[in-house]
Structures are given as structure tokens and as C-alpha cells.
Amino acid sequence: MKKAVTMAAILAVAGSVLAVEVGKPAPDFTGTDINGKTVKLSDYKGKLVVLESFNFGCPFCANHFKSGAMQELQADVTSKGGVWLLVNSVNPKHANYLTPEAARAQWDTLKIKATAEIADSSGKIGHLYGMRTTPHMFVIAPDGTLVYDGAIDDRASTDDDPRTAPHNYVKDAIKAVNAGQKVAVPETKPYGCSVKYAD
């Protein structure tokens, strides 16, 4: 019995790892944002979607917001009809966890320009996409295909201005999608703090 349970657990983990694959349809999900509204990925079919694993308590993630670089990129995407979803998977027992009320206050303070912030304290969406760090970025083409998975750029820093990074992979992926071209660098290793999952 114990062996069977262990094998089931291994298969479950393997399934979650394989759930996200560049070039394949991005798995659908349903979540609740910090305003209590339901967010469903499939509702955005036909639009470019960016997913960002978010935790402002992480200095790598915070640097992108303190500099204003992340908000600029978010605004560029949303102003052109795209969708940007923050996914906050910090579990309720962690010091960085924020209640919806605190998250809304943080949103206003940081002047976040995303479409919505999903309260994913259960880690369901984070695990589904294999989000490993904050930030960890995903770009989904209008046809629902995952075209990028990895770091936002090639400068893992907690203090340098992200806008000076030699390559912003997310920006490059978005530009390629909008031009109807293939993403030159579809996968990279994400950097940052580990996602503070409950398990």
C-alpha cells in the first residue's frame, strides 16, 4: 500500500512538471484575484498573456518594481490589449503573505499596471506552471500556446536598474509574438527567491 501511494505521488509530481511545455497549449486555470473576482485563463483566448510569479518580499522581485521597470513593461502590454497576471503563491504562514486588503494597498503603493493579481496562497496555479522563483515569467501567445518560460532578463540583481540588462527575454518574446515571429529564446533558467509554497 505504501509503495502504491509513493508511486502515485511520483506520478503526480511528474505530471505537474510536464504540465507546462513551451510550444504546447498553456494549461487553463481558474483563480481569485485580490479584489475577489474570478480570473480564468481561457477567458483571455485571443490575447497575449504574461504570467508573473510575484512576491514583493523577495529582493529580486522588489528591485523590478522599485525601479519602475516592471510597471513600465506591464503598462506597455496592457495598453496594447494584452493581459498581465501576477500570481502570488506565498502561503499564509510565511512572513511575506499578504491578506487581500494588504495586497490591494501594496498594489496602489507600487502603482502596479498589471491586469490582476491572483491570490494563489494554495499554490495551485504556481505548482501547475512549475513556478520556481520570484520572478518567474511566462508568455502565452493569443492562440493559447506557451511561447516563453523563464527569467525576465539576463541580469540577476537586487539593486541594478533592470532596464540596463543586456537582454529582457520577456520583452523580446512579446515583440516576436506581436510581429508574428518565432521567439528566439523560448526558455531560460529563472532567477530570484524560491516561491514560498505551503508544500
C-beta of residue 129 within 8 angstroms of C-beta of residue 18: no
Under CATH, which architecture does the 2-194 domain have? Answer: 3-Layer(aba) Sandwich (3.40)
Predicted pLDDT at 16:
40
Look-up of cell digits 540583481: 157
Q: Give me the torsion for CA of 57, 116, 53, 120, rounded to 10°.
A: 80
Average pLDDT, the chain: 92
> Residue 195: which of 63, 65, 88 has the closest Cα?
88
User: What pLDDT score was predicted for residue 19?
Assistant: 63
Contact partners, residue 180, CB within 8 Å, separation at least 6: none
Instruction: Indicate whether 4 pLDDT > 80.
Output: no
Whole-number percent of the chain with pLDDT over 90: 90
Compute the distance between CA of residue 12 and CA of residue 23 in angstroms, rounded to an integer: 22
Distances from the Cα of 72 to the Cαs of 112, 146, 172, 176, in angstroms?
9, 23, 15, 18
pTM of the model: 0.90
Q: What is the pLDDT of residue 7?
A: 37
Sorted by where each begins, the domain ranges of the chain are 2-194
Burial of 131 from C-beta contacts in 10 A (0-12 / 13-18 / 19+): buried
For 51, the enclosing helix (H) or strand (E) is strand 49-53
Q: Mean pLDDT throughout 117-145? A: 98
